[in-house]
Amino acid sequence: MSTPPMAAPDVQIEWRAHVSDDELVELTRSHGGSPEAGWWDRVRAHSLGWVTARSGAGQLAGFVNVAWDGGDHAFLIDTKTRPTHQRQGLGTVVVRRAVEEARAAGCEWLFVDFEPPLAEFYLEACGFRAIPAGLIHLTGPV
């Protein structure tokens, strides 16, 4: 696993800290995503936990959610970093904290899926390894 640049020292990383649906909608919009209002309020109940990164001013700068099956398997989803904080190691710090917390909770496996442009981030910076997997697009043609 390569060593990332240090995230800005004024950024506070927390596990299961309060984060509102409005904040996640705004963070998602900040990097060009198409958020759905109410998403976090629905998803939170299925989470083992989540990591937030806040700037010194309290603005949400990064986020990742750890969903799980209630047992050995956890799933890293919805990794987000505000554009003003990208390429500074913040995403790596947030993901590594999620890995630590999933391990501490007794999970044996932590999965992540990603598009090819993010392979270097997840495989090299964060330490995931590539494995064969299957996928069915449930809303696409059969």
pLDDT tens readout for residues 25-66: 999 999 899 999 999 999 999 999 999 999 999 999 999 999
The predicted model scores a pTM of 0.90
Total structural domains within the chain:
1
Q: Find the domain containing 51 and state its range.
A: 12-125
CATH number for 83? 3.40.630.30
Residue 142 located in a structural domain? no
> If pLDDT is split at 50, 70 and 90, which confidence band does 6 have?
low
User: Across residues 99-108, what is the average pLDDT?
Assistant: 97
CA distances from 76 to 19, 73, 112, 119 (A): 17, 10, 5, 14
Average pLDDT value for the chain: 92
